[in-house]
Amino acid sequence: MTLKSLVIPTFITVLMGLSVLMFVYPVAYLAAAIRGLVIWWDVLFPSLFPFFIISEVLLGFGIVHLIGTLLDPFMKPIFRIPGSGGFVAAMGYVSGYPIGAKLTAKLWEQKMITRDEGERLVAFTTSSDPIFLIGAVSIGFFHNPGIVPILAIAHYGGGFLVGVLMRYHGSRTSQETLLVSQSQSPPRRRSNRLRDALRAMHKARIEDGRNLGELIQEAIQSSLKLIIVVGGLVVFFSVFLELLTQANIMMGLYFIIEHVLSFMGIPPALSKSLVGGIFEVTLGVRYAGESATSIPLSFKVASAAFILSWGGLSVHAQIASILHSTNLRYWPFMVARFIHGILAACLVLVLWKSLAGDLDSKNTMVRFDMSTQFNFHSPQGFVNNLFIFLILLLAMTLLSIIGNMMMSLWIRLRHSSGK
């Protein structure tokens, strides 16, 4: 019996168990369902649905081809993805999850990216939208707009670092093919790139063929289906987490998370927010913002940064459902989300004193002690050493990118001289 054959029986068993818990805890079940529905209606629907429609219409107008042609020289050397990924990255960071995965699947359907490129793209374009980060998290849950800069830098900066690291995902053969194809294609002059981009957009618009009315109608229908799926997943995981908590099934996970946090010098009381964030991002950041005032604000924000970057299993289920219609695999996305969460949390803790140190006086804080930076026996030093290692890894990655660009230039020069 293989592991894959156990998935469906296990899933059925879990659903049957949840059905029993619904009858055992009907009040908690109903309250959790209403809470999830309110979160979807008040926060997710107004913030995501318009962007779903706009992105669909922009795809139909060929904007993705315009931006792709313009960003092609930037996206390939750094992220090893076509320039069309620049449109996905821009929309993903502005619109939030799961827009990046939705647009990546569209590019795959249009045969504009390969499987490896799609997996790299969806790994670092899945992030929280600024409206949710500022309005819901910073103001709504933390009641402190002062944390917006450091939370945004940690979250979106961590996403950029994940994109740089993910360039090594996939076979080296594809990278060598990319360099050869770049060398064989004649170099374009910069003055013609905008003209080529406009031609690519016009060609894509003609090939699409839908008029404005049809384009908007189909965009609304497609977006409405997706936003309903998003809302259903939020309500399901809200009920799922509440029922398991009521049945004391989550106590083991709380115990593990508390000991891990205690080892790293982070208040164990944040285990509730992290466990909630593992399943649903909105619940996790709400628990982080509403946690005890005795917990240092820097650790609360670091917890929120990790949860926003991880995304929660609710977002993971949305991404998996979108990728199911393609040949893109889920596991690279999951690994990238975890790395993004660790990077974002470390960025908050390391940059806190320089970017948000003035907030310490408004809360009970544990000061960031730079003297522990190279102390391997200090929990704070452990975090700092981890961040230093990541910085060195990023430096090596940037050197590798420069090397690849020099190699590509050398191949082009050799190819032109051979002619």
Mean pLDDT by 10 residues, the chain (419 residues): 67 86 90 87 78 79 76 80 80 79 87 89 87 81 88 92 87 50 47 77 83 87 84 84 84 85 86 87 86 86 93 86 87 92 92 76 42 41 50 52 54 58
Residue 35 in domain: yes
Residue 7 in domain: no
CA 284 to the chain's CA centroid: 15
pLDDT for position 183: 43
Distance in angstroms (rounded) separating the CA atoms of residues 53 and 218? 9
Residue 9 in domain: no
Residue 224 in domain: yes
pLDDT for position 175: 47
CA 333 to the chain's CA centroid: 9
Number of domains in the chain: 1
pLDDT for position 179: 44
Range of 99's domain?
19-418
Distance in angstroms (rounded) separating the CA atoms of residues 378 and 371? 10
Residue 1 in domain: no
pLDDT for position 109: 87
Contact 105, 325 (CB under 8 A): yes
Report the largest interatomic distance among the alpha carbons of the chain, rounded to a whole angstrom: 79
Q: Could you count the other beta carbons within 10 Å of the beta carbon of residue 229?
A: 15
pLDDT for position 309: 93
pLDDT for position 397: 52
Residue 5 in domain: no
pLDDT for position 3: 55
pLDDT for position 155: 94
